[in-house]
Every structure is written in C-alpha cells, then in structure tokens.
Amino acid sequence: MSAFWSAWVSVITLAVILGCTWLLFATRKSEKHKETTEETLGHEFDGIEEYDNPLPKWWFQMFLGTVIFGLGYLALYPGLGNFQGLLGWSSHGQWEEEMAHAEEQYRPVFQKYAALSIEQLQSEEDGLKMGQRMFSNNCAVCHGSAGTGAYGFPNLTDNDWLYGGEPQTLITTIANGRNGGMPAWGQVLGEDGVRDVTSYVLSLSGAADSLDGDAVARGQSQFQALCAACHGADGKGTQALGAPNLTDNTWLYGGSFEQVAHSIRNGRAGVMPAHKDLLSDEKIHLIAAYVYSLSQK
C-alpha cells in the first residue's frame, strides 16, 4: 500500500472513531439533567414519541469501552494503513507458524510413508487416503475430484499417459510440471491439407470406414513429413516428448473431426504446473502413490 493510501485509511479510521466519541459527549445530558422527564423531542411516528431523557449510564459506559478497545486494538494489531501494530502480528506470520507446527507434528507420519515405494503404498489404505486429500487440495481443480480429467486435462484413471505412468515418472511430473506444445500447422498445410491430415489421424484409431480414402492417403504422406517426428511413424506417440498416442482413440481435446482439425490447424499448449516449491517431497510421494492407484483399479 502506498504512503498516500496508508495515510488515507488511517485518517478515515481514526476520524470515524473520534467523531463518534465527540458526538456521544456533545449530545449527552449534563449531570443536572440526569433525571427522567415526560418531555418529548417533538417528533412522532406511527403514534410513537421519543422522550427527551439522557442515555442510561451503562449504555454510555459501554460505548466508551468500545472506543477504548478499538483504539487499543489498532495500537496492537494491523488496521491503520501500513502500521503493523506494536505486537508485530500478521495473518501471514501466524499461518507460517501454524504450518511449521503442523510440519513438525506430522513429519514422522510422512517419513514413515516416504520410506515405502509407490508400489508398497498401494496396500497402505491410510497413506492413500492422505494422498487423496492432498490430491483434492492441489490437483482436483484441473483433473477432477475423481481424477477423470476434463477437456484439455488428462484422465488419470485410464492408464493412458502422455509422459508415462511409472511411479518415478509420476513423481517427476508432479514435482517439476510439464509443458506440452503442439505447433500450429494451418499455414503450412492449408485448409485442405489440415483436413487430409485429420482424416489420416482419425483413420489410425479405427475410423477409416467413415472417411474419404483419397484424403486419408494424401494425409498419410503429410503426416510422415510433419508429424511423425513427435508422434512416431506409426502414430503411437513418444512419451519422452509428451506426444500422445493417436491410435488408441483417447483424446485430450476431443476426437471429433472438427476438434482434431482444430488441434492440427491451431496447435495446442498445455501446462502442468510444478509443485516442488509448494509441497514437500514426502507429500509429492503420497500424491504420486494415489495417482498411481487410480490407474491400477
């Protein structure tokens, strides 16, 4: 927060508190007029009139108490712009303390499971439940609460992996993230070429009978020239590059003719964020074990 806005917030906050205090004293009856009276303030609404009596003493004292409490709170804790308070407390600092305490308390539990391999953890129900909860907190927003994925986000339950589904590969993926890039070929192929290559790609997954044979043949030669370097000459993909298998009828962005054509024409860019700076190695180990379990059912 800039110095101007810090001062602005501080002045407004204190002005409201002091203004209310002044108003309280300015409208309070003097001691000699403490007694109640039958006089009214002269206005009436719906048959109700307000007597011109002083505030009850307890009400007045409670109001003063709230003013004193408010000023004391603002002196001790943040609330006046950039002023951090005499105690130096902050919500972020408290969160860090609680996280450090939790890490210390649960470290033995995580170390216990970290000593087991991903395969061994498949028989540890409590460990997998811990991995599931952490998956829900960190991964479900993209892959879904059940890990079944969504448009552009891989299904983790079908044993079809872009970069491989081996335990150590899963750990690497979660820790370091992935950056998948499919170049756009629209300007290189032209619209007719895009549709020819689309026809050939769809023929690899068993749709040849519904496609134009001539288009499939033309698309095959173009595929070998432009696409085989990543997807392989047989279209079965290359996990080292994250290039998907085009023969299994599993599609990340949809397998209709127009959806595949869109991918070829405009390219795709997928990003899996790295979690190594957000999660400890032990937690990544448990999440990887849970993800691995999804494809073993």
pLDDT > 90: percent of the chain = 76
pLDDT (tens digit, 9 = 90+) per residue, 155-211? Answer: 999 989 999 999 999 999 999 999 989 999 999 999 999 999 999 999 998 877 788
The predicted pLDDT at position 48 comes to 83
Cα angle, residue 293 at apex, residues 251 and 107 outer, rounded to 5°: 125
15 and 143 part of one domain: no
Tell me, what CATH number does 172's domain have? 1.10.760.10
174-196 residues labelled b (16+ CB within 10 A) or e (exposed): bbeebebebeebbeebeeebbbb
Tell me, yes or no, whether 84 and 208 share the same domain: no
Examine the pLDDT at 67 and tell me if it is beyond 70: yes
Q: Give alpha helix (H) positions in the chain.
A: 3-26, 57-76, 91-114, 118-121, 125-138, 140-143, 167-176, 186-204, 213-226, 228-231, 257-266, 281-294
Q: Are residues 171 and 184 in the same domain?
A: no
Based on the fold, state whether residues 143 and 210 are members of the same structural domain. no
User: Does the annotation place 99 within a ligand binding site?
Assistant: no
Residue 129 sits in the same domain as residue 245:
no
| SS3 of residue 227 by DSSP | coil
Contacts 24+ apart (CB under 8 A), 159-163: 159/295, 160/245, 160/248, 160/250, 161/239, 162/237, 162/239, 162/242, 162/243, 162/244, 162/252, 163/239, 163/240, 163/242
Are 12 and 124 part of one and the same domain? no
Who contacts 171 (Cβ-Cβ below 8 Å, separation ≥6)? 118, 284, 285, 288
Q: What pLDDT score was predicted for residue 24?
A: 87
Name the 3-class secondary structure at 250.
Answer: coil
Task: Give the end of a domain, one of 67, 90, 113.
Answer: 90
Q: Extract the tokens encoding 216.
A: 């499939």
DSSP-assigned letter for residue 203: H
Measured distance between the N- and C-terminal CA atoms of the chain, rounded to whole angstroms: 52
Which residue, of 61, 90, 119, is where some domain finishes? Answer: 90
At position 215, the amino acid (one-letter code) is A
User: According to the annotation, is 275 in a ligand binding site?
Assistant: no
Residues in the chain: 297
Burial class (CB within 10 angstroms; exposed 0-12, middle 13-18, buried 19+) of 100: exposed
Task: Please say whether the beta carbons of 164 and 178 come within 8 A.
Answer: no
> Tokens 């769809």 — which residue?
202
Distance CA(255)–CA(198), nearest Å, equals: 10
Question: Do 17 and 160 lie in a common domain?
Answer: no
The answer on whether 143 is annotated among ligand-binding residues is yes
Q: Are residues 207 and 147 in the same domain?
A: no
Query: Could you tell me which residues come within 8 angstroms of residue 295 by beta carbon, excluding any fewer than 6 positions away?
Result: 156, 157, 158, 159, 165
Tell whether the model's pLDDT for residue 32 goes beyond 70.
no
Same domain? For 17 and 57 the reply is yes
**Contact (CB, 8 A) for 77 and 85:** yes
Domain end, chosen from 46, 62, 90, is at: 90
142 is in an annotated binding site: yes
Please say if the pLDDT value at position 77 is more than 90.
yes
Write out the residue range of the structural domain in which residue 51 sits: 3-90
Residue 20 labeled ligand binder: no
Domain co-membership, 32 together with 67: yes
Condensed to tens digits (0 to 9), the pLDDT of residues 105-141 reads 889 999 999 999 999 999 999 999 999 999 999 999 9
* Same domain? 142 vs 282: yes
Say if residue 39 is in the same domain as residue 67.
yes
Number of domains in the chain: 3
pLDDT-derived band at 297 (thresholds 50, 70, 90) equals: confident
Flag whether 230 is marked binding.
yes
Asked whether residue 130 is marked as a ligand-binding residue, the answer is no
pTM: 0.73
Q: Is 43 annotated as a binding residue?
A: no
